[in-house]
Amino acid sequence: MSVKPLVPVLVGASIVAVSLTACSGAGGGGGTSGGGGGSGDAITVLMVNNPQMVDLQKLTADNFTAKTGIKVNFTVLPENDLRDKTSQEFSSQAGQYDVASLSNFEIPIYAKNNWVADLTDYSKKDTAFNQDDILKPMTTALSVDGKIYGEPFYGESSFLMYRTDVFKDKNLTMPPKPTWQEVADLAAKLDGAQPGMKGICLRGQPGWGQVFAPLTTVVNTFGGTWFEKDWTPKVNAPEFKEAVNFYVNLVRAHGEAGASQAGFTECLNNTMQGKTAMWYDATSAAGSLESDSSPTKGKFGYVAAPVVKTAASGWLYTWAWAIQQKSTRKDNAWKFISWASSKEYEELVGKTAGYGWSRVPAGKRASTYANADYLKAAGAFAEATKSAIESVDPNNPGVQPRPAAGIQFVDIPEFPDLGTKVSQKVSSAIAGQTTVDAALDEGQALAEAVANKYQK
């Protein structure tokens, strides 16, 4: 019997499973390191690897650094790694990064913990930046108690996209402000309008940022909410159930095939390929639908997010810049933000060869939508995007007062976990494995556990 010598080998092997959790638990490292320290007039920026950020990284040295003499060291990470890194960096106030790209989910939470710097005075003094040009809901979503903690780089809301040519063929008209019931009726009539075409595409993939982005806006306008003002969870309340039943029944009856696993990418493919007649999703999707590589380019109309009991129901999401409270180079950090989020930067991207107006980080400034060059590239959806963003109220998205900000999310650290767990159950309901009522009863139990923390 020589079993024992094997044990260390096994321990070593199975530790690989654990080191998944340990690698970041140790509190640092990270593969890409471009930041840290920096001498003289240099700042360090931590940001997500979305295309607009990569463009910014390429344009910084020749423009911002050339003009101001401030060198910018970027660390660029995928979204999940970025969230992990920023939560560690900011919670410990390590001071390694001066600026970070954060979403409107993180910024209010970070601001309440005093992890990010108050930018109100900077934005007031910097008249060239022109805070009044920033779309109002963006400023609201990035402020806590009237103080500004983040400046948007680009942003989006949600709206309903539909095929104007198919509507014409079937003699249907899209109301300018449709209700969800009207959309459901239209979806039923549009099913099979062309061979293999479905009425509507709606996300069903699990994830708080997948199915629950559109679904929470539906819940809001049906009169439901995750929590009431005093943190009473309402996940299995009649309004929440009605909204989710409506959504699940609609997508099961007239939605895309494989809905339980369809996210943004799948719906984009389906809509672009002419397999769905309507799609309710992010305003930023329109840029892809109207791009030169889209086979259905020019065939889309855009209307406001469908409603039931509220005046508007679109969501609000933005990648924004924030300065770490501990940073010792706040003045230079603001200069960078002021440049990156400026009107001039948008023009720079639009006019630089190889970039162009379709790649402008839009959705944050009113002036973008008055720019003739931008409208030439994005005219089909520019007005609808602007009015979608302007119509939302991130602090009051439903019919009842809320304990925390947020439209398609509840702005508390526990929500990503809660939303993802409930979304997995909703996804099962879309696949027909369980009922909506059973899924939401389980969701209510999870929400109660979260509420306990806040009701104390």
Binding site for another protein (CB under 8 A): 1-3, 6, 10-26, 80, 83-84, 87-88, 91-92, 109, 113, 205-208, 210, 256-261, 263, 266, 269-270, 273, 275, 413-414, 416-417, 420-421, 423-424, 427-428, 430-433
Q: Smallest distance from the beta carbon of 406 to another protein, in angstroms?
A: 15
H/E stretch holding 45 reads strand 42-48
H/E stretch holding 47 reads strand 42-48
Pairwise CA distance, residues 356 & 51, whole Å:
13
Single out the residue of 248, 314, 311 nearest to residue 281, CA to CA.
314
Single out the residue of 313, 284, 277, 299 nearest to residue 178, CA to CA.
313
Pairwise CA distance, residues 333 & 308, whole Å:
43
DSSP bridge partners of 389: none
Q: Smallest distance from the beta carbon of 87 to another protein, in angstroms?
A: 4
The arrangement of strands across the sheet holding 198-201 comes to 198-201, 276-282, 158-163, 300-304
Q: With respect to another protein, which residue has the nearer C-beta, 18 or 370?
A: 18
Q: Smallest distance from the beta carbon of 236 to another protein, in angstroms?
A: 17
Q: Smallest distance from the beta carbon of 61 to another protein, in angstroms?
A: 32
- Torsion on CA atoms 318, 323, 324, 329, rounded to nearest 10: 160
Q: With respect to another protein, which residue has the nearer C-beta, 38 or 207?
A: 207
Q: Smallest distance from the beta carbon of 351 to another protein, in angstroms?
A: 36
Q: Smallest distance from the beta carbon of 417 to another protein, in angstroms?
A: 4
Q: Smallest distance from the beta carbon of 437 to another protein, in angstroms?
A: 18
**What's phi and psi for 319, nearest 5 deg?**
-95, 125
H/E stretch holding 304 reads strand 300-304
Single out the residue of 43, 72, 38, 37 nearest to residue 58, CA to CA.
72
Q: With respect to another protein, which residue has the nearer C-beta, 25 or 69?
A: 25
Instruction: With H, G, I as helix, E, B as strand and everything else as coil, classify residue 38.
Output: coil
Q: With respect to another protein, which residue has the nearer C-beta, 258 or 298?
A: 258
Angle at 361 between CA 341 and CA 202, to 5 degrees: 130
Single out the residue of 430, 426, 424, 423 nearest to residue 257, CA to CA.
430
Q: With respect to another protein, which residue has the nearer C-beta, 20 or 311?
A: 20
Q: With respect to another protein, which residue has the nearer C-beta, 32 or 88?
A: 88
Q: With respect to another protein, which residue has the nearer C-beta, 26 or 372?
A: 26
Q: With respect to another protein, which residue has the nearer C-beta, 178 or 199?
A: 199
Q: With respect to another protein, which residue has the nearer C-beta, 14 or 39?
A: 14
Single out the residue of 306, 438, 318, 444 nearest to residue 389, CA to CA.
318
Q: Smallest distance from the beta carbon of 378 to another protein, in angstroms?
A: 27
Q: Smallest distance from the beta carbon of 108 to another protein, in angstroms?
A: 12
